[in-house]
Structure 1
């Protein structure tokens, strides 16, 4: 009380000085006392004292590239925040994210909670084990194969559009803005393929997760129903009242939400309420609520119209934990939201990146098409089956090489060192230190991948040491918190890429054009302009 009273006579300017001094000391003292034993490690000057350096990097949308540059400059260990060390070494991957090492997700994941904690953002080991037990069987290889006919159905819908575009494009015609403004020239149709991959991925996950597509392929438009009132939507679960929705661009909402949450997550918890007051963060907060509204609306609509179809939501409803308890209403919706994000963004971004790299490298595209023709030449169905594609080595190499260069999750996922400390690459770190291994950087480790790490070359997957690849390739994360939907993602990519490149040929609109990306939590292409034509059958 005496301290507070001593401040009262001070004028406003003095109070500002005191506040600034307290903020500075709160950042300098931890640096001097070094509770995480990482002061000796190099990194950006500001990152030694504040989370704001990393926060700004994330907000600008190129975290993976910037951290990669820091490792190129400083070496294996780089300090990227006062308590956070990035370790660019494949061996660290097996330790930081290993089963049984006791590490937990950091408070970075708190920024991704909207409805309630789900499998992705829960930080409790026991709660994660409970959720994973309920969810994991849904994504087993056997279970995933039940979804194959639905994946093929939407690829077929995409082909109806693209076949007509190719036919009209060969005549020099143009499409309207509702179809992305494509145009015909030189016997090809020229267009941005990214929106189409978004439409495809969203309709697939809408069907698989909620029993019906979002209808993006039908309307050629990025739009999804969003619950206007979360409370009313929750009431609609039990048939009480009418579900009121509005339509918003789902892809834009997911992009804004990812950037917002990733930026907010790297800030200290005490800074987050302050950051939310700024206009940029305010926009992102609206995206978080809108995305939750998409999941709430989709789940409510699905449960209002019961079906015997075995979609993901139905299987989630049937799942039970060790005590025989099913998921509650909000928990069910939170997991459906996770499936929506993980099953849409990753598939569309990866499909777009694969198309880009094959259009950039005509010989690799020709090699893939020869393998597809040789293996599938007798099949009449334009959409290939998983059974037909799962053993094609060059197709697998093309997908893996694309995911190496464009892993949708390229950042180092942060983990807290557990009680007793953790030794990584010969260095021991105390409890509470945040460690991460950047996927983007280890995917460009020359000691593993060769001197031409920036080149797209599927052949390297037949040349490199398989043990080195196994310990370094990390598109789905590693350990107990790895991507539970890996089997579904792999099945979708095999069917989509094999079917598309068996049917069409692609070139880039501008030779040697780069694949521009933006990164929030996931790394996404901004656009991908290509020329496409039907292959001779």
Structure 2
């Protein structure tokens, strides 16, 4: 006999356990097979191909996402099967540039899918809000902050952080013992060998910290990944109370951001009913802690900023000034959630793209020399940091950045949208309401009919050869339509200033020119490391 509480229960026989196990297996199988047989969205009828496990269960895509190479895997499927690929029971990936204009267009009624629910912390922000009216309200408050005119006010903060980075890299070259842990080996031929990814992470975090929270995190000067985080509960309403936090601790913010991206991108592919159980799995449990810690970074930074009023002009000031149609400003928790959105978007994309562009220019020295000649012609031998006005119209610099965004595709995966009432016809096929569709940027950035047969080669010259209309409809680094990246203007200015400043001053080579850039994908596709040899171009 076995005891549970005060109740005596009869033992289960082996046969009984087998019966229950068999029934559970049959129910689970029916849960997946019956929808496939009923074919509510006519995927089988239209013979849309895809891996068998993906046609039956969301778990296939969840497993692919957890491995960190979703975009490459989906790209391989498109190469095998063609334009349409079924990557989940109700998710079709469409590798067609023309589909961008339909699935993500203004006014088509398509909504973000339940995938985005996995990215919510504190409360819904501009990125993960699925309700159309609420998104329109939030975008109205936020969008003016990122107009071209407004972002120019942020240039001094970007140049200040760049100046600190340049000083640290000069110190690396001079053999400063305080930075010895960053050097991979002794200088040779005037070069220092190090992992530039770490420093690009410090730069991006310090820039967005200064812009979104009133001061940098101090990562560049410390040469370390560290940020303050507030220990907090999960009740977003409590953030509206200006209470003293229980505790402030230091955490590795870059690592937390990476863990959060991998967790949310994997969790978002799983069935909604299974997500509470998935959080009990150790890998997901660690990711869930990263979500909470990342929110804590925003809470600590906003608390500190609001406790000391200032007249400086930055993102947080602009968010505080923003009002909806009824004249209402954001509450504290909403303000914190939007600041967190800017922290995530502003740090990840800038650091990953800067690192990838540095890698490709180091791998293709001829492109690096062409860029440096253009920078020398525009800037001369002036050691002062360039301004946005000086670099904003340099054609080869722009091509270098765009080619990096094309081939690296930081935002690589297809972002899922739910087909609205009335359905949509996409690429010659009709999809009924409720179907989930996406267009993978990684794949369309490698469309040989648009970019040529050498899509895996980093070649900025292609931007002067391609048809402008084809590029406009195919190039998708910031997404497209009403849910596209609201911070595009700021990101573009940052990349122009970062790449121009660094390559005007330094020269880079790879430790192994044949070594591919290793990446891992959560929500964004990120370099894992980027070891380079750097030297000053002038002494």
TM-score by length of structure 1 reads: 0.95
Paired with 2:483 and 2:238, the residues of 1 have a C-alpha distance of: 33
Paired with 1:375 and 1:159, the residues of 2 have a C-alpha distance of: 20
1:230 Cα offset (Å) = 4.3
- The alignment status of 1:36 with 2:41, answered yes or no, reads yes
- The alignment status of 1:521 with 2:523, answered yes or no, reads yes
1:179 Cα offset (Å) = 3.4
Paired with 1:51 and 1:233, the residues of 2 have a C-alpha distance of: 30
1:19 Cα offset (Å) = 1.3
Paired with 2:242 and 2:339, the residues of 1 have a C-alpha distance of: 19
Q: How does 1:379-418 map to 2 (within 5 A)?
A: 379-381=382-384, 383-418=385-420
Superposed CA offset, 1:283-324 (max 9, x none): 111111111111111111111111111111111011000011
TM-score by length of structure 2 reads: 0.95
1:183 Cα offset (Å) = 3.5
Question: Which of residues 79, 82, 87 in structure 1 aligns to 2:94?
Answer: 87
Is the 2:168–2:221 contact (alpha carbons within 8 Å) kept by the matching residues of 1? Answer: no
Unaligned runs of 5+ residues in structure 1 are 1-6
1:231 Cα offset (Å) = 8.0
Question: Which of residues 314, 317, 321 in structure 1 aligns to 2:320?
Answer: 317
Is the 1:421–1:429 contact (alpha carbons within 8 Å) kept by the matching residues of 2? Answer: yes
* Paired residue secondary structure (2:413): coil
* Paired residue secondary structure (1:78): strand
Question: Which of residues 13, 26, 43 in structure 1 aligns to 2:18?
Answer: 13
Paired with 1:28 and 1:242, the residues of 2 have a C-alpha distance of: 50
Is the 1:175–1:182 contact (alpha carbons within 8 Å) kept by the matching residues of 2? Answer: no
Q: How does 1:136-215 map to 2 (within 5 A)?
A: 136-168=143-175, 176=179, 178-179=181-182, 181=184, 183-215=186-218
**Count of matched residue pairs:** 526
**Which residue of structure 2 aligns with residue 4 of structure 1?**
none
**Which residue of structure 2 aligns with residue 3 of structure 1?**
none
Is the 2:183–2:193 contact (alpha carbons within 8 Å) kept by the matching residues of 1? Answer: no
Paired with 1:232 and 1:66, the residues of 2 have a C-alpha distance of: 38
Is the 1:234–1:296 contact (alpha carbons within 8 Å) kept by the matching residues of 2? Answer: no
Question: Which of residues 91, 103, 106 in structure 2 aligns to 1:96?
Answer: 103
**Which residue of structure 1 aligns with residue 451 of structure 2?**
449
Paired with 1:112 and 1:104, the residues of 2 have a C-alpha distance of: 16
- The alignment status of 1:305 with 2:311, answered yes or no, reads no
- The alignment status of 1:48 with 2:48, answered yes or no, reads no
Is the 1:174–1:184 contact (alpha carbons within 8 Å) kept by the matching residues of 2? Answer: no
**Which residue of structure 1 aligns with residue 333 of structure 2?**
330
Is the 2:114–2:268 contact (alpha carbons within 8 Å) kept by the matching residues of 1? Answer: yes
Paired with 1:294 and 1:249, the residues of 2 have a C-alpha distance of: 10
Paired with 1:41 and 1:189, the residues of 2 have a C-alpha distance of: 52
1:12 Cα offset (Å) = 2.9
Paired with 1:433 and 1:226, the residues of 2 have a C-alpha distance of: 40
Does the C-alpha gap of structure 1 residues 63 and 242 become closer, same or farther in structure 2, counting only changes over 3 Å? closer
Does the C-alpha gap of structure 1 residues 454 and 236 become closer, same or farther in structure 2, counting only changes over 3 Å? closer
Paired with 1:246 and 1:174, the residues of 2 have a C-alpha distance of: 28
Is the 2:183–2:192 contact (alpha carbons within 8 Å) kept by the matching residues of 1? Answer: no
Does the C-alpha gap of structure 1 residues 239 and 109 become closer, same or farther in structure 2, counting only changes over 3 Å? closer
**Which residue of structure 1 aligns with residue 253 of structure 2?**
250
1:229 Cα offset (Å) = 2.6
Paired with 2:156 and 2:185, the residues of 1 have a C-alpha distance of: 29
**Which residue of structure 1 aligns with residue 269 of structure 2?**
266
Paired with 2:35 and 2:92, the residues of 1 have a C-alpha distance of: 15
1:513 Cα offset (Å) = 1.3
**Which residue of structure 2 aligns with residue 121 of structure 1?**
128
Paired with 2:237 and 2:103, the residues of 1 have a C-alpha distance of: 39
Paired with 2:97 and 2:177, the residues of 1 have a C-alpha distance of: 49
**Which residue of structure 2 aligns with residue 68 of structure 1?**
75
Does the C-alpha gap of structure 1 residues 19 and 412 become closer, same or farther in structure 2, counting only changes over 3 Å? same
Paired with 1:183 and 1:244, the residues of 2 have a C-alpha distance of: 42
* Paired residue secondary structure (1:214): coil
Is the 1:238–1:304 contact (alpha carbons within 8 Å) kept by the matching residues of 2? Answer: no
1:534 Cα offset (Å) = 0.2
Paired with 2:91 and 2:234, the residues of 1 have a C-alpha distance of: 39
**Which residue of structure 2 aligns with residue 360 of structure 1?**
363
Structure 1 vs Structure 2 CA RMSD: 1.9
* Paired residue secondary structure (2:460): coil
Paired with 1:515 and 1:110, the residues of 2 have a C-alpha distance of: 31
Does the C-alpha gap of structure 1 residues 241 and 199 become closer, same or farther in structure 2, counting only changes over 3 Å? same
Is the 1:258–1:522 contact (alpha carbons within 8 Å) kept by the matching residues of 2? Answer: yes
Does the C-alpha gap of structure 1 residues 107 and 129 become closer, same or farther in structure 2, counting only changes over 3 Å? same
- The alignment status of 1:107 with 2:114, answered yes or no, reads yes
Paired with 2:137 and 2:493, the residues of 1 have a C-alpha distance of: 26
1:387 Cα offset (Å) = 0.5
Is the 1:407–1:523 contact (alpha carbons within 8 Å) kept by the matching residues of 2? Answer: yes
Paired with 1:472 and 1:301, the residues of 2 have a C-alpha distance of: 43
1:268 Cα offset (Å) = 1.0
**Which residue of structure 1 aligns with residue 8 of structure 2?**
none
Paired with 1:462 and 1:264, the residues of 2 have a C-alpha distance of: 41
